[in-house]
Amino acid sequence: MSNLRTGAGKRSVQWTLLILAVLLSCLPVLVLVVSSFKLESQIFTFRPVVLFRPHISAYLFLVDKFPQFFRTLLNSTIVTLGACAAVLAISIPAAYSYSRLFSRRRARSSYYLIAVRMFPPIIILIPLYPALRAIGLLDTYISLIVVYAAFQVSLSTMILKSFLDGVPRELDEQTYIDGCTRLQSFWYVTLPALAPGIISSAIFVAVFAWNDFDFAFLLTGRHTKTAAIMISEMQGMVQEGALNYGDLFAAATIHVIPILIFVFAVQKWMVKGFTVGAVKG
Amino acid sequence: MLLLPVMAVLTIVILLPELWSLFLSLTNYSLGVPIRFIGIKNYVDLLRESGFLLAVVRNFIFVLLVVLLQTVYGVGLALLLARGFPLQKLWLALLIVPIAISPSVMAVIWKYLLNFNIGPIDWIVQQFGLSRIQWLSDPRLAFLTVSLVYVWASTPHVLVIVYPARLTFPQTLYESASVEGASAWQTFRNVTWPLLQPVLSVVIIFRIMIAFRTFGIIWTMTQGGPDRSTETVAIYLYNEGFRYWKFGAASAVALVMLVLTLVIAGGQMRTMYRNLFEDAS
């Protein structure tokens, strides 16, 4: 009987800790989302307003008076999709090569990928910024996409290689017997089997590109400014009194929701990628 | 052939700029000034510059503090979650929410929550009969505040690696520990801890490396202030390069940063290489 009681006691402690940890992770984000539906007067009180009728006035304001935000959201979408495409186009062949065409010399070349992953992004901006400026590539999509790709191809190659190692070679060999070329066999057999790996590495690129502050802060300008940078500027405007808190919260909510849904949807593959990325690669 | 694109991108975006930066660090290069070779003057100046030395010390304290906290908290969460709960996957998904949030949105959230005049956290503090706290504008406190926000943001990165690793630990060891009547502490000490060690050492080195280069979250929260109290090496580097346009001096800082990173994590390269090719060789 007493055993049962301590067992139940232990269980409730575990539940309490879990709930507290979940609240700590989610409550700050939830407060942001909820507050974006408040009126400014409901935000601007010291005593928090918990129950209120939701208003969408902040969102209407963004649409009516602050359309530049949506332009930056479009920019974020373009560079995120561009970076995903670029990284996959570069790292799928590389991963295939490391997984299927093994030679010691080829394997040694991966030291280059490993070493480069250790470079802090910010130190590359010091030489890159004046160089891009000199050749007129500041504030272009292409420079941002290429820089994102360079910092993500290494992880992506490692994730894809590890997934490819799990796709049985017999599958390819079977198709050679059927008279397929290597390319055909790759396209029709290996690539579909690699789908989870592709999703897994695309998540990392997408989250990185969508959320990036360090690079976009310096490499974008009037034409290519991403939403992450815009939100940071809007925060400055709020502090100067040129913008309402509610409008800032609405913009931040719009920025967070798509990536949050994406991460939720693909969580299974994400965890696998982390394991490969941090422990293996 | 298949490796050509990845090698090309890494060389053009990272290696060549880094070599160029190495050269720049020996010059007085600044925007609009002709480049002049000045030997190791930039490095010598750095060693005399108390602002830089303080940034290095501050950076090490930051790394020590946040890696310690995120490891203890992250491992704790992983072990707790591994106890098994209904809706296990949902809890994991909710715990890793901060992974999907960009630094600029984090700044929006936390600068509001910690706001002296309208922040809910100071309201809670006051309900406990304490006086309100200047979380971000008090130079003695801002460093700790930013560190804690960083821990909030980065703990999920520990969780997503340690939790799947914990699930691979053989259940039979835990069963025999429980048959022999081992206490929770003894089980942790003799079963979990030894199994945890390999993954933990990799995670810790990775987290040290990442924490060391932190820029976005500190910049968006405090820009290194107030009174330079949150100025880490990355912030110092940014100011040298992009506030004072001293690219020569900034390159020297960048190189010091790279060397420190390689000292911290360079030893991991062999492990990463071996893990990447463990099946093939």
DSSP A243: S
Q: Does the pLDDT of residue A2 top 50, yes or no? A: no
Q: Does the pLDDT of residue B187 top 70, yes or no? A: yes
Residues 62-81 (A) with a CB less than 8 A from some CB of B = none
Which residue from A110, A157, A232 is facing B220, i.e. has the nearest CB? A232
Indicate the average pLDDT of chain B.
92
Residue among B42, B108, B212 with most chain A CBs within 10 A, to mutate: B108
Residues comprising chain A, all counted:
281
What percent of chain B has a predicted confidence (pLDDT) above 70? Answer: 99
For position A181, what pLDDT does the model report? 81
**Quick count: other Cβ atoms within 10 Å of Cβ B105?**
28
Contacts of B85 in chain A (CB under 8 A): 14-15, 18
Q: Does the pLDDT of residue A280 top 60, yes or no? A: no
Residues 158-197 (B) with a CB less than 8 A from some CB of A = 160-161, 163-165
Q: Which residue has the tokens 């902040």?
A: A58
Q: Does the pLDDT of residue B16 top 60, yes or no? A: yes
Contacts of A165 in chain B (CB under 8 A): 279-280
Q: Cα–Cα distance between B185 and B156 in angstroms, integer?
A: 24
Q: Does A245 touch chain B (CB under 8 A)?
A: yes
pLDDT band, residue A6 (cuts 50/70/90):
low
For residue A61, give how far its alpha carbon lies from the nearest alpha carbon of chain B (Å).
18
From B211, B231, B219, B220, select the one nearest B112 (Cα to Cα). B220
Instruction: Please indicate whether, in this complex, the C-beta atoms of B109 and A123 are within 8 angstroms of each other.
Output: no
From A79, A114, A15, A55, select the one nearest A223 (Cα to Cα). A79
Please give the average per-residue pLDDT across B239-263, as a whole number.
93
- B197 contacts: CB under 8 Å, gap ≥ 6: none
For position A118, what pLDDT does the model report? 87
Q: At A84, which helix (H) or strand (E)?
A: helix A68-100
- A82 contacts: CB under 8 Å, gap ≥ 6: A141, A145
pLDDT band, residue A278 (cuts 50/70/90):
low
From A247, A201, A227, select the one nearest A35 (Cα to Cα). A247
What percent of chain A has a predicted confidence (pLDDT) above 90? Answer: 60
Instruction: Please indicate whether, in this complex, the C-beta atoms of B20 and A131 are within 8 angstroms of each other.
Output: yes
Chain B: residue nearest A162 by CA?
B276
Residue among A123, A165, A272 with most chain B CBs within 10 A, to mutate: A123
pLDDT band, residue A75 (cuts 50/70/90):
very high
For position B8, what pLDDT does the model report? 95
Interface predicted TM-score (ipTM): 0.91
* Token representation of residue B144: 């700790």
Contacts of B279 in chain A (CB under 8 A): 165
Residues 36-65 (A) with a CB less than 8 A from some CB of B = 43-48
* Count of CA atoms in the C-beta half-sphere (13 A) of B108: 35
Contacts of A281 in chain B (CB under 8 A): 272, 275-276
Instruction: Please indicate whether, in this complex, the C-beta atoms of A127 and B21 are within 8 angstroms of each other.
Output: yes
Q: What is the pTM of this model?
A: 0.93
Contacts of B199 in chain A (CB under 8 A): 279
For position B26, what pLDDT does the model report? 95
Which residue from B95, B160, B215 is facing A122, i.e. has the nearest CB? B215
Question: pLDDT tens for residues A114-171?
Answer: 888 889 988 999 999 989 998 999 999 999 999 999 999 999 999 999 888 888 887 7
Burial of B11: CB neighbours in 10 Å, binned 0-12, 13-18, 19+: middle
Stronger pLDDT, A181 or A94, i.e. the higher one = A94
Q: Does A154 touch chain B (CB under 8 A)?
A: yes
Q: Cα–Cα distance between A26 and A44 in angstroms, integer?
A: 22
From A226, A220, A127, A213, select the one nearest B237 (Cα to Cα). A127
Q: Cα–Cα distance between B107 and B45 in angstroms, integer?
A: 34
Chain A: residue nearest B274 by CA?
A280
Instruction: Please indicate whether, in this complex, the C-beta atoms of B80 and A248 are within 8 angstroms of each other.
Output: no
* Token representation of residue B21: 């930066």
Residues 19-48 (B) with a CB less than 8 A from some CB of A = 20-21, 24, 29, 31
Instruction: Please indicate whether, in this complex, the C-beta atoms of A48 and B202 are within 8 angstroms of each other.
Output: no
Please give the C-alpha separations between residue A135 and each of A131, A132, A143, B34, in angstroms, as whole numbers.
7, 5, 11, 18
Angle (deg, nearest 10), helices A57-65 and A245-265:
100
Stronger pLDDT, A92 or B268, i.e. the higher one = A92
Supply the CATH classification number for the domain B21-280.
1.10.3720.10
Please give the average per-residue pLDDT across A40-59, as a whole number.
89
Chain B: residue nearest A25 by CA?
B95
Stronger pLDDT, B151 or A9, i.e. the higher one = B151
Q: Determine contact, residues A269/A203, Cβ cutoff 8 Å.
A: yes
Which residue from A18, A122, A162 is facing B234, i.e. has the nearest CB? A122
Q: Does B152 touch chain A (CB under 8 A)?
A: yes
Residue among A6, A17, A122, A126 with most chain B CBs within 10 A, to mutate: A126
Give start and end residues of each alpha helix (H) in B224-267: 233-238, 247-265
Question: pLDDT tens for residues B37-57?
Answer: 998 999 999 999 999 999 999
Which residue type sits at A211?
Answer: N
Residues 91-120 (A) with a CB less than 8 A from some CB of B = 91, 93-94, 96-98, 101-102, 104, 106-107, 109-116, 118-120
Instruction: Please indicate whether, in this complex, the C-beta atoms of B102 and A46 are within 8 angstroms of each other.
Output: no
Q: Does the pLDDT of residue B97 top 60, yes or no? A: yes
Burial of B15: CB neighbours in 10 Å, binned 0-12, 13-18, 19+: middle
Question: pLDDT tens for residues A251-274?
Answer: 999 999 999 999 888 887 887 777
Q: Does B254 touch chain A (CB under 8 A)?
A: yes
Question: pLDDT tens for residues B219-247?
Answer: 999 999 899 999 999 999 999 999 999 99
Instruction: Please indicate whether, in this complex, the C-beta atoms of B242 and A129 are within 8 angstroms of each other.
Output: yes
For position B195, what pLDDT does the model report? 92
Chain centre distance of CA A17: 29
